Amino acid sequence: GIQVEQSPPDLILQEGANSTLRCNFSDSVNNLQWFHQNPWGQLINLFYIPSGTKQNGRLSATTVATERYSLLYISSSQTTDSGVYFCAAMDSSYKLIFGSGTRLLVRP
Amino acid sequence: GAVVSQHPSWVICKSGTSVKIECRSLDFQATTMFWYRQFPKQSLMLMATSNEGSKATYEQGVEKDKFLINHASLTLSTLTVTSAHPEDSSFYICSAPRLAGAYNEQFFGPGTRLTVL
């Protein structure tokens, strides 16, 4: 099955800094999604991005499907951005396979 | 975005009892829903696919007799943890895909934290 790898596993930023999170997947995928898991465990949908680039406020994402990776950019980070960021790739049977996540801490 | 609810949010039970968790898609229909399990500081692991009108399909290593899944309608799937034991304590999360042609985005419920004493 599809393997999904995320890097870095942990990231500490000072408020206001920018960061890039990476997601590599081992095979072609039907879909790729980015999520933010808040401290209560809720997964918040950030991007549905099988290919191309999208932006939403301070966040943007790019997926290069032919090279099997996706990037999540966070600009001008805020303490409320802290949490775990997951990417998940959808395989041919429409199952989402999750990466191991990037744990982000933004310090004031 | 689409809304998926779960009930209960948390449950504490004694070893040997059964616990039922409900997952509902509130503003769209879902013929398929998914159940995940997450241990502390780990990623989500897919347990099973819930199919409306047919049997659920389980991932390798997941005991179907331990985790009973029923997809009763186009908006409701239930997961029953039977004869729960402390090792079943975990965070259980459901998801439902909202489909529109090739568009297939999954939305997640808020999760259910199960503690078995």
pLDDT for residue B1: 67
pLDDT for residue A91: 86
**A105 touches B at CB < 8 Å:** no
* DSSP assignment letter at A9: S
Interface test with B, best of A63, A96, A103, A105 (most B CBs within 10 A): A96
pLDDT-derived band of residue B85, with 50, 70 and 90 as boundaries?
very high
Q: Min CA distance, B83 vs chain A (Å)? A: 25
In the sheet with A4-7, reading across from the earlier edge strand, the strands are: A4-7, A19-25, A69-74, A59-64, A52-56
Q: Could you tell me if A52 and A61 are in contact, meaning their C-beta atoms sit under 8 angstroms apart? A: no
Chain mean pLDDT for chain B:
94
Chain mean pLDDT for chain A:
95
User: Are A43 and B32 a contacting pair at CB < 8 A?
Assistant: no
Intervals of chain A under pLDDT 70 = none
